Structure 1
Amino acid sequence: MCAGSIMALSVGFRQAMGLFLTPITLDLGLGRGSFALGMGLMNLAWGFGAPIAGAIADRYGAGRVAAVGSLLYAGGLIVMTLSGDGMQLLVGGTLIGLGLSGSGFTVILGTVSRLVTPNKRAQALALASVGGSIGQFLAIPYSHALIDSFGWTLALVILAMSALLIVPLAAGLRGQSPVAQELQSKGARTALKEACQVQGFWLLNAGFFVCGFHLAFVAVHIPAYLADKSFSPWLATAALTTIGLSNIIGSYGFGALGGYFPKKNVLCGIYLCRSLIFLLFLVTPISETTVLIFSAAIGLLWLGTVPLTSGLVGHIFGTQHMSMLFGFVFLGHQFGGFLGAWLAGKIFDTFGSYDAMWWLSIALGLLSAALHLPIKEQPVRLVDIR
């Protein structure tokens, strides 16, 4: 319960940041590229911080790491409200990213993996990931209501106060299982060195890069994309909420499928379907109906990659250093997130259209599907050192 609730707060609020793009840029007179760069830095900071936070959580437990992450997260949201020259977006985005590295996927899912037996791991990871999906479903309308009622500045302050709820929830996390404590003799540096010698580790990084690219582009820019098409702001909220609702089903469903079918094959199918959905959305005349259909379809595939990818890391390399190793795989995801958020804003500011981003997303989805096929879904024994 604590793990799922933490995921709901951290991942949920992060997915709502796209709702702030239009009001912040209009109020401050900034281009979309400035906001997108802040969100890109958030993804980079999250990515670089994830393996460090994961290694600390592997050794000392997840509770303290998640609590510190909550404080950084709230601080980043506050910083975004402090000035009007755009610099606060960069600093705030960086702090939010560092906060997410301590309270997001890598630390929480690594802890969950160590607390269950291998035959129940896929289902447990799926259930924990559902917490983030429920958070997105609830955080989008919550954030929209705050912006409408109080304006974007006070809305960010209230979100910061809400993020602090992670601190008491973190007290309920057990850092390690007894088995993990017995295996503490394995060195994290050696585990990483040996993982880097496995081709599948790099293929997972490259494939997860595409996931981050897709998610950041859609989450950050879909509200502005719909505004450009002259739709009411309520449709952007409805679209992101629909993504969150479908994501609840998809995260658990695809995570559970990983317990019955090769995880790499399920991941391949997810990326192929994403490309198809992007293509259909791009070539079909846009309407409120097609937007909601697109949102429901892409939502099913949204975070379904997370329990599968983290499950592959745990299956191939074991769970002792899973938070750290998944953190490095997640770094690839966040490089993609940075590029997806920033490049979309840059392309729009240059060409006045997102069309090139849609086509690039289609091509990358096909590439990611191909990258997962050669992965060998077999356990690898990392050297035990003392």
Structure 2
Amino acid sequence: MSTANSKRYAPAFNQTTLVILAGALILSAAMGIRQTFGLFIGPFSFDRGLPVTLIAFAIALHNLVWGFARPFAGAAADRYGSAPVVAFGATTFAAGLGLAAVAPGGAMLIVGMGLLVGIGVSCTTFGVVLPAVGRIASPEKRSMAMGLVSAGGSAGQVLMVPLVQGIRLNAGIATSLFTLAFLMLLIAPLGMVLDRRARLGAPVQEAPAAPLRKVLAEAARHRGYRLLTLGFFTCGFQLAFIATHLPEYLSLCHMPIGLGATALALIGLFNMAGSWACGWLGGRFRQHHVLGWLYLIRSVTIGAFFVLPKSALSVVIFAAVMGLTWLGTVPLTSGLVAKVFGTRHLGSLFGVCFLSHQIGSFLGAWLGGLVFDLTGSYSLLWEATVLAGLVAAMLHFPIDDTSVSTPALRVEPAQ
């Protein structure tokens, strides 16, 4: 009897593990690469004579394009599977990096690092990867599985930041960007693994995907979904500002050269533990309560870092705490959407929620450059990130996480 049970459950375990590994690798490449963009602000400004505002706008634009393209990428993955979406996204991402590598001026940089990278990252990150993981994992393990994928994806930031820093210092901007483009092309085939369940013939009992307009209209009437979407704006605003402008800010504070890259790598390292921990907490406590505390902790950390004296130790502590709270919001937010609405349209619903995140990302990255060019200081943005976090916490605690009963939204694949 035990042998029969082992044979019965081993394939499902192996299949889930493969999907988690593939998802982590895809996220590792895509998220790791985009987290290096802050390292290029100074070089693009000094070597190519571009204003900081323009460089920050290009980086910010990819966040905005990512947000607007994300619902369509999620809907395409819901309907056609992850494989073609990931392949298209990885190729487009690589093309954008290649164009940025040879860009002589602002227009090509905006098209490459802004438009093309934004489209590419929308097809190779959370909105396409996490729904695939959410569908294959059992409901009680879903939050943990999403946390594991997010944690594994953080390895890219740990590896990419020092890699890019080393290549850029020794071989220049173009070589480092072409290297990143090559790495993106390597992950293009991994989308097929995310669709492994369908290829193996696992029983999937799903109704046809409902029209996107109907799905979104029904979700928009849910107060908790509206609050979650508004609160997710803060996550993007805080993370994009820090990831884009922390290296330059530390330079202004006369910190050692390379400390900014070290801080970004440490954020990625601690984010591995933080994402796993948030996934674990989301499986044991109400996810919107965990999110509320996450935003509070993050805001207190940012405020303390801003007002206290700067030192190498304070930067390391700041990076560690921020890493623990960095992307833990993603498995919690996507898990909460899945809990309330089911997984059938998770790609589309999380995609719209994520659009709010990316509008915040655009503003965090762009306003950082604009405010610095206008005032010569980042102070206003540091204060804004603290205030936004406090507001986000207040929005998350009252969310109603009761599952809806609308059939069009709650059709679940057979486990």
TM bucket by the smaller chain?
over 0.9
Q: Among 226, 237, 241, which residue is 1:213 paired with?
A: 237
How far does residue 310 in structure 1 lie from its aligned partner after superposition? Answer: 0.4
Deviation at 1:381, TM superposition (A): 2.4
Alignment of 1:154-165 (within 5 A): 154-165=175-186
Q: Is 1:243 the counterpart of 2:270 in the alignment?
A: no
In structure 2, stretches of 5+ residues that fail to align are: 1-20, 410-415
Find the counterpart in structure 1 of residue 126 from structure 2: 105
- State how far apart, in whole Å, the 1-side matches of 2:41 and 2:203 are: 46
Q: Distance in 1 between matches of 2:72 and 2:277?
A: 30
> Cα deviation per residue 1:106-130 (whole Å; 9 max; x = unaligned)?
0000111011110110111001111
Structure 1's 180 and 197: CA in aligned 2 closer, same or farther, altered over 3 A? farther
In structure 2, what residue type is equivalent to 1:261?
A: F
Aligned to 1:304: 328
> Is the CA contact 1:210–1:365 (under 8 Å) kept in the aligned structure 2?
yes
Fraction of identical pairs, as percent: 44
Show the counterpart of 1:28: 48
CA RMSD of aligned residues (A): 1.5
Residue aligning to 1:355:
379
How much does 1:175 deviate? 6.8
Equivalent pair of 1:61/1:175 in contact (CA under 8 Å): no
Q: How does 1:317-356 map to 2 (within 5 A)?
A: 317-356=341-380
Match of 1:124 in 2: 145
Picking from 289, 299, 308, the partner of 2:313 is 289
Return the alpha-carbon distance in structure 2 between the equivalents of residues 87 and 179 of structure 1: 49
Task: Indicate conservation of the 8 Å contact 1:61/1:176, yes or no.
Answer: no
Counterpart of 1:75 in structure 2: which amino acid? A
> 1:51, 1:327 within 8 Å by CA — same for their partners in 2?
yes
Distance 1:185 1:212 in 2: 29
2:4 is matched with none
Matched residue type, 1:279: G
Greater mean deviation of Cα atoms: 108-117 or 222-231: 222-231
Q: Report the counterpart of residue 77 of structure 1 in structure 2.
A: 97
Q: Using the alignment, how far apart are the partners of 1:82 and 1:384 within structure 2?
A: 47
Distance (whole Å) between structure 2 residues aligned to residue 320 and residue 97 of structure 1: 25
- Contact 1:196/1:202, CA 8 A, preserved across alignment: yes
2:171 to 131, 138, 150: 150
Whole-angstrom CA distance in 1 between matches of 2:247 and 2:192? 36
Q: CA deviation at 1:355?
A: 0.6
Distance in 2, matches of 1:22 and 1:181, equals 52
Conserved? CA contact 2:241–2:364, under 8 Å: yes
> Structure 2: how far apart are the matches of 1:185 and 1:295?
42
Q: 1:3 aligns with which of 23, 33, 44?
A: 23
Counterparts of 2:32 and 2:137, CA distance in 1: 25
How far the C-alpha of 1:181 sits from its partner, in A, is 5.1
1:227-242 map, 5 Å = 227-242=251-266
Q: Which residue of 2 aligns with 1:65?
A: 85
Contact 2:82 2:192 in 1 (8 A): no
Code of the residue aligned with 2:66 in structure 1: it is W
Aligned to 1:94: 115
Moved more, 42-51 or 80-89: 80-89
Say whether the 8 Å CA contact 1:246–1:297 is kept in structure 2. Answer: yes
| Deviation digits for residues 5-58 of structure 1 (CA, Å, limit 9, x no counterpart) | 001001111111111111111112122111110011100110011100000100
Q: Which residue of 2 aligns with 1:223?
A: 247
**Following the alignment from structure 2 to structure 1, what is the Cα–Cα distance between the partners of residues 89 and 180?**
15
1:16 maps onto 2:40 in alignment: no
Is this contact kept in 1: 2:292–2:396, CA < 8 A?
A: yes
User: Does structure 2 conserve the Cα–Cα contact (< 8 Å) formed by 1:114 and 1:176?
Assistant: no
Bigger mean CA offset, 121-130 vs 168-177: 168-177
Q: Distance in 2 between matches of 1:227 and 1:9?
A: 27
* Aligned counterparts of 1:156 and 1:24: Cα–Cα separation in 2: 12
Q: Corresponding residue for 1:271?
A: 295
Answer whether contact 1:60 1:175 (CA < 8 A) is retained.
Answer: no
Q: TM-score scaled by structure 1?
A: 0.97
Q: Identify which range, 261-270 or 27-36, moves more after superposition.
A: 27-36
SS state at 2:194 partner: coil
- Report the secondary structure of 2:36's partner residue: helix
Q: How far apart, in 2, do the equivalents of 1:37 and 1:217 lie?
A: 12
Distance 2:408 2:23 in 1: 29
Amino acid at match of 1:358: W
Letter in 2 for 1:15: Q
Separation in structure 2 between the aligned mates of residue 264 and residue 20 of structure 1, nearest angstrom:
36
Rate the CA distance shift 1:321–1:185 in 2: closer, same or farther, 3 A.
closer
The offset of 1:383, in angstroms, is: 4.1
Report the Cα distance in structure 1 between the residues aligned to 2:293 and 2:147, rounded to whole angstroms: 17
The C-alpha deviation readout for 1:339-373, integer Å capped at 9, x for no partner, is: 00000100000000001101000000000000112
Greater shift, 19-28 or 301-310, is seen at 19-28
Residue 294 of structure 2 aligns to a residue whose secondary structure is: helix
TM-score for the superposition, normalised by structure 2: 0.90
- Other-structure match for 1:378: 402
| Structure with larger Rg | 2
SS in structure 2 at match of 1:80: helix
Deviation at 1:179? Answer: 6.2
Once residues 384 and 310 of structure 1 are traced to their aligned partners in structure 2, the CA distance between those partners, rounded to angstroms, is: 18
Write the distance in 2 (CA, Å) between the matches of 1:221 and 1:102: 25
| 1:184-203 → structure 2 map (5 Å cutoff) | 184=208, 186-203=210-227
SS at match of 1:320: coil
